[in-house]
Chain A
Amino acid sequence: MLDLFQEIWSTLRQNKLRTTLTGMAVSWGIIIIIVLIGTGNGLMNALMNNASDEIQNIIAVYPGFSSKPYNGIKEGTMMRFNYRDLDFSEQFSEKIDRAFGNLEYSDTISLGSEALSSQIYGVDPMIKDIWRVRMVNGRFVNKKDMEDQSKHIVIDENAASQLLGDDKDYSKLLGQFINVGNIPFKVIGIRESEEQSWGHQSYIPYTTAKTMRTDGAWLSRLTLEFHGLETKEANDEFEAAYKRGINNFHGMHPEDTRTTYLSNYYLNNQEMDKAIRIMRTALWILGFLTLLSGIVGVSNIMLITVKERIHEFGIRKALGAKPMSIMKLIVVESVVITAFFGYIGMVIGMLADFALDKTIGSHPMDVGITQLYIFKNIGVGFDVAIEATLLLIVAGTIAGIIPAWKGARVRPIEALRAEK
C-alpha cells in the first residue's frame, strides 16, 4: 500500500498545477454540500425548536362538541373529561400503558403585596417534555411531588420577575412560598417564558390540583401513553376505537368524530421525520449535483493522464504489471485527489457553517409582527462528515474507473508503440 502511495505521490508531483485546479472543483462541491446541509439543519432546528426525540408514543385527547344528537343529548353539547375518563382509558390497557390528565384553572398568585393572575396547570411530570418546557432555575414537577401531593409550584420568568418587583434574579424565589389563591406553595422552579404567550402559566402536581378541586373539575386534556402501534393503519384503527369507546362512555353518538380531538405525537413525529428526510435528501442531491461537476473534472483529467502515461503503462506491462495493478494505480490516484481536496472543502465548508451560525444563526430575523429565528445551530454533525467522506471515496472511484479501465485494457504492444 505504501508503495502504491509513493507511486501516486511521484506522479502527482509531476502535475501540481493541473492537479490543484482539478481538485478545486471537488473542494467546491463539498463546500456546497456542507453549507447546504448545515443551513438545512439550521432551518430544521429552528422549525422544530429542538424537538425532543424521546416523546414518541403519546396521544393527547382534547374535548370537542358533539355534532350528532343521540339519546336525548343535543347536538353541540361539549364533551367534558373528568377523573373517570382516566379509568375508562385504562380499559384499553392492551395498548395504553398509562393515562393522565391535566387539570386547568386560573387563580391569583401573590407574594407580599405583589399579585397577578395566572393559569394553573395541574400536570404530570411528563408534560415537561411534551410541552417542551425549558427551565431557567430549579426543576419541574417530579414523581415524588405527585406521590406526596406536594404543594410545589413552577412559575414562569415574567411572573417571577413581577412577584420580585421587577428583579431579574429569579433564583431568589426558589424555595420561597407564594400564595396560590390563599394556599401557600413552595416555588421549586422557574420556567422560560414563551415568546408568543400573553398570560402566565404555573404548574403544580396533578395530584395536588386534584385534592384542591375535588368536585366539578374538568380535565382540560387526557394524555395516553401507548405502545405497539407501529403503522399508521394501527394508529388510525386504535384512535377510531378509542373515540367510539369514549363516546359510549359519555352517552354520545358512537360514530360522532367531533366529540374529541386526538393529537398523535407518534404519527406527527413520523410525518415530521419524513419531511426532514425528504428535505435532507433533496439537499444531498443538490450538493451531489454540484460535486458531480467536480467528479467529471477529475475523470477528465484522469483520462488525459492515462493517455499521457499509456507508454509508461506499456513498459510496466512488459515488466509484468497485471491489468489489475494498472487499474488500482489510476483508481487510487483518483480517490487520493478527490479525498484530499474533498477534505479541504469539508474543512472550509464547516468553517463557513460556523461563520453562518455566528451571524444569521444567532440573531433573530424581523418578520414584521415579531422576531423569529429562521436558523438555529447551523452546522453538520459527525455523521454528515462520515457520509461525505464515503461519498468522496465513491466519487473518486467513479471518476477513476473509466480512465483506469482504458489504461488497464490497452495491450502492451500498442502501449509501447504509443508516443511518449
Chain B
Amino acid sequence: MLIELKDVNKTYFGAQPLHVLKGINLGIERGEFVSIMGASGSGKSTLLNILGILDNYDSGEYRIGGKLIWDLTESKAAEYRNKMIGFIFQSYNLIGFKTAVENVELPLFYQGVSRHKRHEMAMEYIERLGLKDWAGHYPNEMSGGQKQRVAIARALVTKPDIILADEPTGALDSKTSVEIMDLLKELNEREKLTIIVVTHESGVANYTNKIIHIKDGVIGEIEENHAHNSVHFGGEGMLK
C-alpha cells in the first residue's frame, strides 16, 4: 500500500470550530489512477493538503510507503514534498519570471542537483511533453494547456511516488482539458505512475480508474471505474 490513511481527523479552529475531516480511512496502491470527488466544502481540498504534506492533521495516521507523516518540521515536510510528491495545480502555479525550463528545474534545484544536470533533466521532460520549442518562453507567453504541461513536467521531473493533481483542468477549455486528462491517463498506463486527481467534475473523475467520493468529511462510495462509463465526458454538462 503506497498511501494509507487511518481514521484521519482535521478540525479548523476558528470562531466556530469546523470538523472538516471526520475519520478518513483510505488506501491507494502504487500505480493507481484515482480521483477524489466531492462538492466544495466536502473536505476534499483539506484531504488534498494533508496528502500533499502541505497541512497537518489532528489525529489518526497517514503513511506514504510505510513512512508515518506526523509532526514534521517545516524543513522535513519540504524535503518529503520534494522527494515524494509532484503537484499539479488548477492555476498552474508557475513562477512568472522564470522560463518554462527554469520552472521545471526548480524542484531539482531544491534537491541540490547541479546546474548542468538539472537543466538536462528538465529539458528531457519538457521535450517529452512536446514543449521543446517553448522551453525558453515565459509562462505569460504560453497558452493554458502549455502552461499546464510545463507544470506536469515540473511534477514529473523529480520522479515522485505520487502525482497530486488539484483540479488540473479547472482553468482550461474542454478541448485542452481532454488533452491534459489523456496525458495523465497515458502517464499512468505507460509509466505506472500513481496519480490522484482531486476534482468536483464527474467528467474529469470518469477518466480515472477509481473514483473516491467524499461528502461532509467522510469517504462515501468508492467506485471502480475501469470501464470509464460512469459519466460521459461532457455529458450532463459537468465538464464544460
Contact = CB atoms under 8 A, between A and B. Distances in A.
Most buried by B among A10, A11, A315, A320: A320
A319 B107 contact: yes
A319 B115 contact: no
Interface residues of B, number: 27
A14 B97 contact: yes
A413 interface: yes
Contacts of B186: none
B222 to A, nearest CB: 26
Contacts of B125: none
A3 B118 CA distance: 12
B93 A315 contact: yes
Interface in A237-287: none
B78 A11 contact: no
B111 A315 contact: no
Nearest to A320: B82
A323 interface: yes
B109 A413 contact: no
Nearest to A409: B74
B81 A319 contact: yes
Most buried by A among B81, B94, B98, B111: B81
Contacts of A321: 78, 110
A304 interface: no
A37 B159 CA distance: 58
B106 interface: yes
A324 B73 CA distance: 12
A306 to B, nearest CB: 15
Interface in B85-129: 87, 89, 93-98, 106-107, 109-111, 115
Given A319-B107, A321-B110, A10 B98 contact: yes
A322 B109 contact: no
A119 interface: no
Interface stretch (B23-31, B32-40, B47-55, B168-176): B47-55
B154 interface: yes
B79 interface: yes
Nearest to B157: A319
Contacts of A317: 78, 81
A323 B74 contact: yes
B55 to A, nearest CB: 5
A235 B109 CA distance: 65
B229 interface: no
A324 B97 contact: no
Nearest to B46: A413
Nearest to B111: A320
Contacts of A412: 54
Interface string A1-39: 011000000110110000000000000000000000000
A344 interface: no
Contacts of B154: 319
B82 A319 contact: yes
Most buried by A among B54, B78, B93, B95: B78
B14 to A, nearest CB: 14
B16 interface: no
B116 to A, nearest CB: 12
Given A10-B97, A312-B95, A325-B110, A320 B52 contact: no
Contact of A316 (B79, B106, B158): B106
Contacts of A10: 97-98
Contacts of A315: 93-95
Contacts of A78: none
Contact of B106 (A11, A314, A319, A416): A319
Contacts of B81: 317-320
Nearest to A412: B54
A128 to B, nearest CB: 64
A9 B115 CA distance: 17
Interface string B182-199: 000000000000000000
A319 B150 CA distance: 14
A413 B93 CA distance: 13
Interface in A299-316: 311-312, 314-316
B52 A322 contact: no
Nearest to B48: A413
Contacts of B89: 416
B114 to A, nearest CB: 10
Contact of B74 (A312, A318, A322): A322
Contact of B87 (A11, A14, A311, A318): A318
A3 B78 contact: no
Contacts of B97: 10-11, 13-14
A318 B93 contact: yes
A31 B153 CA distance: 50
Contacts of A3: 109, 115
A318 B91 CA distance: 14
Contacts of B109: 3
Interface string B119-148: 000000000000000000000000000000
Nearest to B74: A323
Contacts of A324: 75
Interface string A378-420: 0000000000000000000000000000000001110010000
Contact of A413 (B54, B78, B94, B106): B54
Given A320-B110, A325-B110, A416 B78 contact: no
B23 to A, nearest CB: 22
Given A312-B95, A322-B110, 8 more contacts: A10-B97, A312-B96, A314-B93, A316-B106, A318-B54, A320-B107, A322-B79, A412-B54
Interface of A: 2-3, 10-11, 13-14, 311-312, 314-325, 411-413, 416
11 contacts: A3-B109, A3-B115, A312-B96, A314-B93, A316-B106, A316-B110, A317-B78, A319-B87, A320-B81, A320-B110, A411-B54
| 5 smallest beta-carbon distances between A and B, as pairs | A320-B82, A320-B110, A322-B75, A319-B107, A322-B78
